[in-house]
Chains A and B, each alone.
Chain A
Amino acid sequence: MKKSLPVLIILFAAFLLSACGDSRKHTQAVYMLVDTSGTYTKQINKAARVINYLLATLNPGDSLAVAKVETRSFTEKDIIDKVTFDRRPSEATQQKRAFKSRIEAFTRGVHGSAYTDITGGLIQAAEYLNETRAGKKTIVIFSDMQEELGKGTVRDFPIKLNGIRIVALNVSKLGTDNADPRLYIDRLAHWKARVLKAGATSWEVVNDLDNNMEAILDPRR
């Protein structure tokens, strides 16, 4: 019995260590791309509402980053703010407050860009999300999904979005879409095929932000 006691203690400790393994897999990370091109800047208040929703919903330990989609978006400079919330709820609340005020400052001074580099933003988002090592990773794209690349910007290559869920928000119809809806449908189908081919776990479109905001983080809805 005396000999078996240390063995039992070691086994118990090993069990506890294995059980307490990686707590990051229970967290989630969200990267939100906000389209600031052309007339879409007028929708910035809606984007702020979505960010507020995310701030209210994310838990301590989760990560959130908000970046703008510009002419060339594959750069850290486009990240407006990013944060990994503290494990303590009180500290996380303070971080959320600070995040909110930075986003408010951004919305006040936003100005439109000439082009829309969604692919660059996606690559940047995937890079950030993979770094967080969160269990659930989501890219939220607040855009009309009309990609316009400037001269010299190369994005026609396969991208990697393994294990990431993509949610397109407020995909507004353009003037040309109204004339020929197939353009809109084809545009969404193109992006769906592209992100799924890149390894994304799912592709969802949420346009009704008033009633279906929960679908951003909850894939069951």
Chain B
Amino acid sequence: MDRNSWLFWPDSVALSVLTLLILAMLFLYAARKPMHGVIHSLCNLVTQSTRFISRWLFLSAESLRLRNQAVLLAHSQESAASMVDREFERVSNIIRKDMQEFPALQRKLKEDVTRIEDDYRKCGEVPPPPPEWVDALESVSQIKSGGDIPRKLLEDINKSIQKIHDKTVAEFRRSYEERHKILKGIQPSWRSAEKLIDEMDKKMVTLNTNAKQIDGHMAKFEGIRAKDSKTEHALNVSAFVQLAISSLVMVIALGGAFINYKLIALPMSEMVGASDYITDNLRTSDVAALVIILMEASMGLFLLESLRITQLFPKIASMDDRMRRRLMLASLIFLVILAAIESSLALMRDMLVADKAALMHDLASSAPPATQGWMSNIPMAGQMVMGFVLPFALAFVAIPLESVVHSLRTVLGVLLVQGMRGLGFVLRFTGVVFRRLAKVLESSYDIFIVIPLMVERWVVAMRGEPLVKAQAKSGRAS
């Protein structure tokens, strides 16, 4: 096809282009109103649609937020209630235990106090005072008339007094000694009483701590009941933190599961065959190893459920205690059996690896293999221990799993709400842009047909001037 076939006059390109431009301009001028209408309608359509969708998104996000809030608060309320319950149970246990001990404690304390009082009373007993005839002696000593008789009398009296004095002092000393002994005897009772009081004090401190914890939980509980935004925000943050921590623990557990898998995948091929495949790339032995690991995790889950450490299955939580204990026992037995199987598989793995290594050595050289000492048994023992321990370690994955399950809903809900709000905002913004864009497009369209528009304005002005003048004249006349 000829490149210049669109030209009116192929010899004069400029003239052809100019003619084409004029024709286009005329066509566009003629189509101005419908085109403006189309632009306006299209932009309006986009604006209305985006506004409608944005509004729907905002409303949906709000209802989703309310629903999330309801679920979060209900769940948190339940968990706070159970925590308060547990604290109360703990406090009641302490009180019950202490109250049981209290009569004995009180009796002991009373006995101690009575003993102390008795001893104290005994301490108050003083020896008899010196005889009153001392006063008489003083009177005799004041007799003025001298002589042998009063002197002898006085000497006798002096002797007697000396004797009595010595006796009284000895009695006094003995009495004090006894009192000291009694006071010494009070000491153990005093210490015992002090110890009892200390014990009571400690118990009171524990009770006080528990009461404070209950206060904290109750404050949280009240916040949840009041549905205040601060509590909701705190709960959301807590869910994010919980998810992060639980995910980290889950990743670590996955690492353990991978090691576990590596430990038993090879020996499982001895049981189910190494050349059997379930799909093109999935060996039966690999799947069997995976199934064993998943069974261990399930048994661990049931064990923790029946111990009421986790509460993923309401049916297990609501079982009566006898049934629950049976389930716990069954899970534990299965877990031990699986751990024993895994341990023996680890042993078999070691044997297989050693056998293959020996074969490789045989194939590579004719020299006899070097004898290995007792140290070669260490990896085997290590593998066996790992094979036995890992299933139990894997059992605890139920705790972070529960955390992930509970917090993931909140986190996903929050992210979804934020995503919907973000999308709603983008759509609203797009609507605003399109509303303004209509004007821009109309003006841009008018730029292409600026010459006809100028002509139109000029013609209108020409027509309008006499008309205006006539109107002005008629106005003045009237």
Give the B-binding residues of A (Cβ under 8 A): 16, 19-20, 23, 26-27, 52-53, 55-56, 59-62, 87-90, 92-93, 96-97, 100
Contact = CB atoms under 8 A, between A and B. Distances in A.
B227 interface: no
22 contacts: A19-B278, A19-B279, A20-B277, A20-B278, A23-B275, A23-B276, A26-B277, A26-B280, A27-B275, A52-B363, A55-B363, A59-B274, A60-B273, A60-B275, A87-B269, A87-B274, A88-B273, A88-B274, A89-B266, A93-B356, A93-B359, A96-B363
B270 interface: yes
Interface string B327-365: 000000000000000000000000110011001101110
A87 B284 CA distance: 12
Contacts of B352: 89-90, 93
B359 A87 contact: no
Contacts of A87: 269, 273-276
B200 to A, nearest CB: 63
Contacts of A100: 362-363
A20 B364 CA distance: 36
Nearest to A61: B275
Contacts of B270: 88-90
**Is chain B's interface secondary structure helix, strand, loop, or mixed overall?**
helix
A16 B287 CA distance: 13
**Is chain A's interface secondary structure helix, strand, loop, or mixed overall?**
helix
A89 B269 contact: yes
Given A89-B356, A90-B352, A97 B362 contact: yes
Interface of B: 266, 269-270, 273-280, 284, 351-352, 355-356, 359-360, 362-364
Contact of A60 (B274, B355, B363, B364): B274
A53 B364 CA distance: 8
Nearest to A27: B275
B252 to A, nearest CB: 31
Contacts of A90: 270, 351-352, 355
B275, B352, B356 pick with most chain A CB within 10 angstroms:
B275
Contacts of B278: 16, 19-20
Contacts of A60: 269, 273-275
Contact of B360 (A27, A56, A61, A92): A56
A97 B362 CA distance: 8
A23 B277 contact: yes
A59 B275 contact: yes
Contacts of B277: 20, 23, 26
Nearest to B275: A61
A61 B351 CA distance: 20
B276 A89 contact: no
A149 to B, nearest CB: 35
Contacts of B364: 52, 56
Contacts of B280: 26
Contacts of B359: 55-56, 93, 96-97
Given A88-B274, A89-B266, A97-B359, 6 more contacts: A23-B275, A23-B277, A52-B363, A56-B364, A61-B274, A100-B363
Contacts of A53: 363
B274 A89 contact: yes
Contacts of B273: 23, 60-61, 87-88
